Amino acid sequence: MTFPLFSRVILIEDLPEENLLAGDMGTIVECHPATDDYPEGYEVEFFSADGETLAVVSVPATALRAATRKDMLHVRELVLA
């Protein structure tokens, strides 16, 4: 699936090395087209509730889905390693 720049996306798998969980919402900030060696991917920026950037992560398209109007935002406390 192709996501436009600055669209909101939802992780559908945990990224424990980044302290991110399935269900976390981020914003697409860069697109990486598929090549013979790599699948389609994105740079996704994740924010805290007060707008601070928590992480900018390279994520394969298969680990994301589009945010929809049926999604309810929920707050969780970030656990730092």
Residue at 46 is within a domain: yes
* Total of domains in the chain: 1
Q: How far apart are CA 16 and CA 13, in angstroms?
A: 9
Tokens of 36: 């013979």
Digit-coded pLDDT (tens) for 1-15: 689 999 999 999 999
Amino acid at 66: A
Dihedral angle over CA of 51, 52, 56, 61, nearest 10: -20
Q: How far apart are CA 5 and CA 72, in angstroms?
A: 22
Q: How far apart are CA 51 and CA 21, in angstroms?
A: 18
Find the CATH number of the domain harbouring 17: 2.30.30
Structural domain range at position 32:
8-66
> 81 pLDDT exceeds 70?
no
Task: Return the pLDDT at 30.
Answer: 97
Residue at 42 is within a domain: yes
pTM over cut 0.95: no
Digit-coded pLDDT (tens) for 14-55: 999 999 999 999 999 999 999 999 899 999 999 999 999 999
